[in-house]
Amino acid sequence: MASTIEATTIGDLLIRAAERWPDADALVLPASRHTFADLAERSVDRARALIALGVRPGEHVAMFLPTSVEFVEFLFGIALAGAVPVPINARYRGNELRYLVDNSDSVAVIATADVAEGVNLLERLSEALGDHGAAGIETLRSVVSLSGDAPGVIGPRAFAGLAGDVPVAEVHRRRLRARLRDTGIVLYTSGTTSNPKGCLLSHEAVVRNGIELARRYEMSGQDRFWSPLAMYHIGGIMPIAASFWVGCRYVTMPRFEAGLALRLFRDEGVTINYAAFWPIIADLINHPEFATTDLSNTRLMNSSLAMQPEPARRTLARAMPNAFQVSTYGLTEAAGTVSTSRLDDSYEARIARLGAPLEGLEVRIVDRDGREVPPGAHGEIAIRGYGIIDGYYKDPEKSAEALRDGWLHTGDIGSVDEAGHVMFHGRTKDMLKVGGENVAALEIEALVGSHPEVRLCQVVGCPDDRLVEVPAAFVELKTPGAVGEGDIIEFCKGKLAGFKLPRHVRFVSEWPMGATKIQKFKLRDRLIEELGLAGNNSTG
């Protein structure tokens, strides 16, 4: 018998869990643990304070926070207040940080002075915004600090005191008025343009994606779900929805450290390992404590087996023989997971494909004219169903380009076999994937191109054993020899997040040209040959 459709709003998800499993551990961090009842109480208080601050239903509230209990409290607290959370990558800085606050029309920003991602986020926010009241961001009314004070900022004690001005009943009144198809969250993702795009995801998209993942993995309250993925990404939010739906424990950490992760596996009895990316997996299995850590409780691991080379698959099979390895395909624009392995899929199916679409989602492969191609043929991956974005915030042109006839056109190249299993083959967009982070080549090109000695810059992805690929900049100078590789990299520091910095800089005097455009693949091939990476020479 087919399963019934189940969904709720983001705020209601936590209230539901707190009513069913109040004393169960909901969130475990290396230094703290929190029950569903604790999280619900604090999230409601966050909502009360936001309402007292003047936040109205439907308004946007930015969260410049790392993975933490505070992130969870505000994710749900903002939703409970009827507003829309806008998580900001905690690695952002300068212009990119200011752009997100401005473009999102956020009325408030929540930040912390605690050092996270190696920096003081409140200090970084202050540097980006300056005097927020005169920063030229018309919608911004408040900046809230959860630790530490600064001029023009509402400190933690003052903010907490606001909650007493609003009755709890007002929070639940707003919660009950929310609709499933209302915008539940705005998540920014880098695109082929220099600026990130705000993905408008409904409550249903976020929560139901978690529910369907929980069903696919047959999750229950007995599970212990570990994920190292940052909460400000959909990859960190969607597993929270899955865990909270079934009442299981979500185990995470502010920053991935293999030794600490292994101790959490042992102490918490982790049953689901959502490592997702090979650099994380490699760090785990290569750590000195791996061989002596009891991992017998781990029943499932998201390792995207189909995307790994055969030697990596063999290593994984030897290292974690009891864990059922699953493969996954997903993206922010589809609320996280699109397809993943079923628990009855054969090993052969799991190393060849990225699983079948979750219930309620459809995937088809289309050619350049939008016509569906036969099974096994390559084309663009298109997705339809509850999980896709309703558009990009304030970008009707990009929205119309991506959403056509009810289908999300991903810009990814893939195929679907006769059984409906999906495979990813590469990207049509000029986009790099650096250790799981989307990086737009154009953003780096624009910055390097602003150097007074640079005539033209083109950025390509260079294969990297740890991060999959890293940015490499090809630069034509106005005066040959005027600056060196180190000068270009130093020019970028402080203006881009660390993972966006060029790792290689090569100077050119002429460009490989096609009919009208520079042939970037030839630049990439040249660098691969120079670095002796011929085995990694792939246009995917």
pLDDT > 70: what percent of the chain?
Answer: 94
pLDDT level of residue 425 (50, 70, 90 thresholds): confident
Secondary structure string (H, E, C) spanning 496-537? ECHHHCCCEEEECCCCCECCCCECHHHHHHHHHHHHCCHHHC
Distance CA 50, CA 166 (A): 9
Say if strands 379-385 and 300-302 run parallel, antiparallel, or are unpaired: unpaired
Worst-scoring range by mean pLDDT, 116-120, 347-351, 507-511, 514-518? 514-518
> Is a pLDDT exceeding 60 seen at residue 248?
yes
User: At 396, is the pLDDT very low, low, confident or very high (cuts 50, 70, 90)?
Assistant: very high
Residue 135 scores a pLDDT above 90: no
Residue whose token pair is 């043929």: 377
pLDDT of 312 > 80? The answer is: no
Stretch 153-177: mean pLDDT, rounded? 96
Residue 279's pLDDT is what?
76
| Mean confidence (pLDDT) of the chain | 91
Tokens of 226: 């570990």
**CB of 419 within 8 A of CB of 377?**
no
pLDDT, position 1:
47
How far are the Cα atoms of 17, 233, 258, 438 from residue 224, in angstroms, in the given order? 16, 20, 18, 28
Residues 6+ apart with CB under 8 A from 205: 184, 334, 335, 386, 387, 388, 389
Give the whole-angstrom CA distance, residue 237 versus residue 209. 10
The whole-number average pLDDT for the span 142-158 is 89
Label residue 133 by pLDDT band (50, 70, 90): very low
Number of neighbouring beta carbons within 10 Å of residue 242: 28
464 pLDDT more than 50 = yes
Unique residue bearing structure tokens 């209230």: 15
Q: Report the C-alpha gap between 145 and 148 in whole angstroms.
A: 6
Tally the C-alpha atoms within 13 A of residue 98's C-alpha that lie toward its C-beta: 16
Residue range 35-201 in CATH 3.30.930.10: no
Q: Is 245 helix (H, G, I), strand (E, B) or coil?
A: helix
Average pLDDT over residues 242-260: 97
pLDDT tens digits for range 86-124: 999 998 888 889 999 999 999 999 998 776 666 788 888
Buried/exposed code over 54-84 (b: 16+ C-beta within 10 A; e: otherwise): ebeeebbbbbbbbbbbbbbbbbbbbbbbbbb
Taking Cα atoms as reference points, which of 228, 232, 217, 278 lies closest to residue 253?
A: 228
pLDDT at 364 over 70: yes
Element (H, E) at 185: strand 183-189
CA distance 357 to 353: 11
In terms of pLDDT, which residue wins out, 66 or 91? Answer: 66
Query: How far apart are alpha carbons 62 and 111 in whole angstroms?
Result: 9
Closest CA to 179 of 203, 211, 199: 203
Q: What is the pLDDT of residue 540?
A: 33
Model confidence pLDDT, tens digit, residues 398-413: 999 999 999 999 998 8
Assigned CATH for 431-536: 3.30.300.30
Q: Which residues of 261-276 are buried (b: 16+ CB within 10 A; e: fewer)?
A: bbebbeebbbbbbbbb
Cα–Cα distance measured from residue 518 to residue 278, given in angstroms and rounded to the nearest whole number? 32
Count, residues in the chain: 540
Q: Which one has a higher pLDDT value, 347 or 54? A: 54
Whole-angstrom distance, CA of residue 70 vs CA of residue 374 = 48
The percentage of the chain sitting over the pLDDT mark of 90, rounded to a whole number, equals 71
- Check whether 333 has a pLDDT greater than 60: yes
Q: Within the chain, what is the greatest distance between any pair of CA atoms? A: 71
| Positive/negative CA dihedral, 233, 239, 242, 245 | negative
Q: For residue 515, name the pLDDT band (cuts at 50, 70, 90).
A: very low
pLDDT in the model for residue 161: 96
- CB–CB of 50/77 below 8 Å? yes
Q: Which residue has the tokens 């049953």?
A: 271
Higher pLDDT: 430 or 123? It is 123
Residue 537: pLDDT over 50: no
The alpha-helical segments, DSSP class H, found in 21-93 are 36-52, 69-80
Domain boundaries, given as residue ranges, for the chain: 35-201, 431-536
Q: What is the C-alpha end-to-end distance of the chain, expressed in Å?
A: 40
Q: Which two tokens stand for residue 29?
A: 């961090």
Range name among 8-12, 277-281, 283-287 with the lowest pLDDT average: 277-281
Kindly indicate the confidence band of residue 68, based on its pLDDT and cuts at 50, 70 and 90: very high
DSSP state of 493: B
pLDDT of 275 above 70: yes
Which of 211-215, 477-481, 508-512, 536-540 has the least mean pLDDT?
536-540
CB 61 within 8 A of CB 86: yes
Tell me how far apart the alpha carbons of residues 372 and 287 are, in angstroms, rounded to a whole number.
46
- Residue 347: phi and psi, rounded to 5, are -60, -40
Distance (Å, whole) CA 16 – CA 176: 12
Taking only the tens place, the pLDDT of each residue in 18-40 is 999 999 999 999 999 999 999 99
Q: What is the distance between the alpha carbons of residues 206 and 200, in angstroms, rounded to a whole number? A: 11
Residue 126 DSSP symbol: H
pLDDT at 192 over 60: no
